[in-house]
Amino acid sequence: MRSKLALFLILPLLLLTPGCWDLQDVNDTAFVLGIGIDSPSNSDTAKYKVTFEFAKPLSTRENPKAQSLAASMEADSILQAIQRMQASISRRISLSHLRLVAIGEDVARTENFQYLTNYIMREPDMALRLRLVFVQNAEARQFFYTNPRFENRVAAEMVAMGMLQKELDLNRTNNFLDFIIDLNRTKGVALGSRVSIQKGENVVVRDGAAIFKDWKLVAWLSADEAQASNWLLEKTLAVVVAKEKENTYTYRVRKKDTKFKPVLDDGKPSFVVAVSTEGMVMEEAGKDIDFSKPENLKKMEELFNQAISQQVKSAIDKSQKELKADYLGFDKAFQKYHSEAFEFLNWSEIYPTIPIQVQVDCKIKAYGLHK
């Protein structure tokens, strides 16, 4: 009898199981796929202009494609912008599917990155697996109004590009969290992903890199400069073009290994950077060389050694002499071998003067299907 009574008392609890408070109907939700952050049009009234790219599913009868909707709001904080945006749309904003954060050049140059993204790090609704891009010479808002070439939404195009471009050496491919980890480690120095908008076609090109120093954007790297930096930073496989007089040869790297060898001599650090590659000659224009002769291959290897060495040296020079910021990760390599000495060094101060020697060992293993 008692158990029946208990069952009778427990049964009404079933009414609570649908969870009225947390009911989330997809049809009543506005999923944000991308967020863009820019400087406001009037800095007296707001601190940021936040652009949202919402998924806008249409019925299959209307249009088989699902499209997106972009809208901007100005506010003093990101959360306030979300709140204000909520006042202008009929569905509850959800950040659970946010995949992309785009930062406009203007705000990236003036605002500390830590403050810009503080909300993103705190919001439990969001997964931190975000793509982060910095928009050169434009607002992040404009970026969300570009025409994606293959996907239906800009955010989806960027996510797909991010997956593919891990193998492309013309850009920096780190995601949001990796960028934050680099910034924290170096107290404000890091290399992020660059995007630019091709004006005529209004499409996005993702190449090059954005350089951060003291938590703010200070310079851009072009695609070629990013490729040069990637010899030291990424595992991406390069395509190297070497020129000798009128002749041009193209080498596709199939295997790459870069080693930083830090040396501490009488308290003074120096480095040897050893790059070794294996790959194939895939294109030649000009004087026809018979690659089946080992001595010719040896000459070619020398040529590519010089080309790669020049690229690596130019990347180091840019970082040491021009920008005076260690975004290439020499600090990490030094700390790995000399952690005690590292604690007593003012790295940002000594980095521009550290002697760095470059050694390249390029091997040509094949030359495609033609001699």
Strand, coil or helix: what is 263? strand
* DSSP per-residue string spanning 167-197: G-TTB----HHHHHHHHHHHTS-EEEEEEEE
Q: Dig out the tokens for 319 from the structure.
A: 């970082």
Residues 20-39 that bind another protein (CB under 8 A): 21-22
- The nearer residue to another protein, 271 or 304, going by C-beta atoms, is 271
Between 18 and 64, whose beta carbon lies closer to another protein?
A: 18
Single out the residue of 28, 63, 112, 129 in contact with another protein (rule: CB under 8 A): 129
Show Cβ contacts of residue 217 under 8 Å, excluding neighbours closer than 6 positions.
105, 108, 109, 134, 210, 211
**Pairing mode of beta strands 190-198, 203-205:** antiparallel
- Of the ranges 77-85, 160-168, 237-245, 360-368, which one interacts with another protein (CB under 8 A)? 160-168
Give the nearer residue to another protein in terms of CB position, either 231 or 251. 231
- Cβ atoms 351, 244 nearer than 8 A: no
Query: Applying CB under 8 A, does 259 fall inside the site for another protein?
Result: no
The CB-of-9 to another protein minimum distance in angstroms stands at 10
- Binding residues for another protein restricted to 88-107, rule: CB under 8 A: 96-97, 99
Strand partners of residue 358: 273
Separation between Cα atoms, residue 143 and residue 55, nearest integer Å = 16
Question: Would you count residue 339 as binding another protein (CB under 8 A)?
Answer: yes
| Opening angle at CA 191, ends 185 and 194, nearest 5 | 150
Write down the least CB distance from residue 171 to another protein, Å. 17
* Number of neighbours of residue 46 by Cβ within 10 angstroms: 19
* 279 token code pair: 């790959």
CB of 151 to another protein, least distance (A): 11
Backbone angles phi, psi at 135, to 5 degrees: -95, 120
Taking residues 104 to 123 in sequence order and writing x for each that binds another protein by CB under 8 A, - otherwise, the string is: -----------------x--
Give whichever of 22 and 349 is closer to another protein, judged by the CB atom: 22
Residues 170-229 that bind another protein (CB under 8 A): 177, 180-181, 184-185
Q: What count of other Cβ atoms lies within 10 Å of the Cβ of residue 132?
A: 23
Which of residues 159, 223, 238, 275 is near another protein by CB under 8 A?
159
Tell me: does residue 349 bind another protein (CB under 8 A): no
Task: Tell me which residues touch another protein (CB under 8 A).
Answer: 13, 16, 19, 21-22, 96-97, 99, 121, 124, 127-129, 159-160, 162-163, 177, 180-181, 184-185, 332, 335-337, 339
